[in-house]
Homo-oligomer: A and B are copies of this chain.
Amino acid sequence: MTLKIGFLGYGMMARAHAHALNRLPLFFPEAPETDRTIIAGRDPDGVSNAADRLGFDRSTTDWREVVPAVDVLYVLTPPTVHREPTVEALESGVHVLCEKPLSTSVSAGERMVETAADSDAVVGCGFNYRFLPAIQLLKQFVEEGELGTIRHVRGQFLQNWQADATDAWTWRNDAEIAGAGRVADAGSHSFDLARWLVGPIDSVSGQLTTTIDNRPVDGTDERRTVSTDDAYGVLARFDSGARAIFDGSRVATGHTNTNTIELVGSRGTARFHCERLNELEVCLEGDRGFRTISVTDPEDPYVDRWWPPGHGLGWEHSVVHENYEFLSAIRDDGTFEPDFETGLAVARIVDAVRRSDETGRRVAIR
């Protein structure tokens, strides 16, 4: 079986997924074979160059050309344009891997979930951090009870790429295109990990901030309004009674990529920091103090495919593993997690945070 692959979008995540497809034969030879068939984007030159660079047979500026030509659609466009192509693909029986956040509204997400339910296609939502070895090991610790009952969760996602008021405006600053801001873009990763590792979230109190409310537009004299949040704080309670704190920012001076998650349990505590993505810090029962595990042993998740101990992987490997699992699920007529229901659950949290910020009240999820 060779799966024909189509991409919508040719930005960073397109590069990451194309790279993953390129690497699978060397490192995961049992993965289904794929053919990078067609890639769509708005700018004809841009998408044509991307097709060359990323190894696609051809390119188009009309995404409607893509669905009929492929077995699998990768939806890598801004979130407001996720729903339409996804629904069309699913209605044609095409498998869909859609980047996160799944949707900018709960209703759009619901529509995507319903369509997926009516289809035999495999669907996935691009929460790639799940597929890092260290996060997989964290999941194992949780499932094997090494941490006991989880009490506290802390998820951060602090970056500084818009810390300066002179940093340029991007579509991520526009509510119409991006839906929400930092809370959707970064927060959704944290919310996904928390739900996956600990379980459903019952309620949230949220706080959104727009620290810098207009930004210069590159190549012009214009400054454009920032209509999305650039920082957020969230208090959450899980169905289980565990509590969580989340915060994120695009304007956090000094923070290159402080994407962290910590689980504090009755028997142990574990934490992960994305800038040191080959490491997991844990303090398990009987330990004095936190240990830094180099998650690079052959018995660690996915690691036997790569290099010897201590020869760390990079961020991109999360996407390789994600593609391996997603394509394997297609071959096996199986299901893939995180799916659209997960994406929708995360969208509901983002929505609840926004409502809590507006009303000043704790908001139940659902």
| A contact residues vs B (CB 8 Å cutoff) | 12, 15-16, 18-19, 22-23, 25-27, 29, 52-55, 148, 151-152, 154, 158-159, 161, 163, 165, 203, 205-207, 209, 211, 231, 233-235, 237, 241, 243-245, 247, 249, 251-257, 259, 264-269, 274-279, 282-283, 287-294, 296-297, 306-317, 360-362
Contact = CB atoms under 8 A, between A and B. Distances in A.
B290 A268 contact: no
Contact of A314 (B264, B297, B314): B314
Nearest to A203: B360
A245 B243 contact: no
Q: Which of A12, A16, A52, A315 lies at the interface centre, i.e. has the most chain B CB atoms within 10 A of its CB?
A: A315
A312 B26 contact: no
A291 B291 contact: yes
Given A154-B247, A249-B152, A277 B361 contact: no
A308 B161 contact: yes
Given A152-B247, A292-B290, A361-B362, A307 B253 contact: no
Contact of A209 (B25, B205, B243, B278): B243
19 contacts: A15-B26, A16-B307, A22-B23, A151-B211, A151-B251, A161-B309, A233-B235, A253-B283, A254-B283, A257-B294, A274-B310, A277-B312, A283-B291, A288-B294, A289-B291, A306-B314, A312-B314, A314-B314, A361-B361
A26 B259 CA distance: 27
A243 B254 contact: no
A104 B247 CA distance: 30
Nearest to A278: B275
A312 B315 contact: yes
Given A16-B307, A307-B12, A314-B312, A287 B291 contact: yes
Copy tally for this chain in the complex stands at 4
Contacts of A283: 253-254, 291
- Can you list the 10 inter-chain pairs with the closest CB atoms, starting with the nearest? A257-B310, A254-B283, A360-B362, A254-B269, A314-B314, A311-B315, A256-B310, A291-B291, A256-B294, A289-B293
Best-buried of A22, A53, A310, A362 by chain B (most CB within 10 Å): A310
Contacts of A310: 159, 256-257, 259, 274-275
A169 to B, nearest CB: 17
A188 to B, nearest CB: 17
Contacts of A265: 253
A26 B54 contact: yes
A305 to B, nearest CB: 10
A266 B291 contact: no
Given A22-B26, A161-B309, A277-B312, 10 more contacts: A18-B26, A152-B249, A205-B362, A207-B235, A253-B265, A253-B268, A257-B294, A275-B279, A276-B276, A289-B294
